[in-house]
Structure 1
Amino acid sequence: MYFVIHAIDRSDAGTLRGRTRPAHLDYLGGFDILFGGPMLDDDGAMCGSLIVVQAEDRAA
């Protein structure tokens, strides 16, 4: 089954992302990610993320 994670950043996400990126990538390494990437606003600044994962069920 495929699941879409659509995450919209809060205003201070850039600072938080910089501090937590290594741990975040380690966590995501445990999932079967089909694709993902940043969402950009009209000015080209990152405003969120979209990730598609494959899992047995939502609880996985």
Structure 2
Amino acid sequence: MTTPLDALPKIGAPAMRALKGVGYVSLSDLAGVPRSELAMLHGVGPRALQMLEQALAEHGLELE
């Protein structure tokens, strides 16, 4: 199932709170964001990053 660009994929609650806390509320908001920037957010670990990258790739997008 493809994650819509206007939503975030189903990742853990801490990662979701961290992303929304800094203004990332949709998958399209994450396109081009540096992976290292997201990795510094509390709650955004390797699994969440992998899920985000996979969801972006479904739309031909990627993190920086």
TM-score bin (small chain): under 0.3
Per chain length, whose mean CA-contact separation is higher, i.e. which structure has more relative contact order (CA < 8 Å, sep 6+)? Answer: 1
Larger Rg: 1
- TM-score after normalising by structure 1: 0.27
- Structure richer in strand, relative to its length: 1
- Structure richer in helix, relative to its length: 2
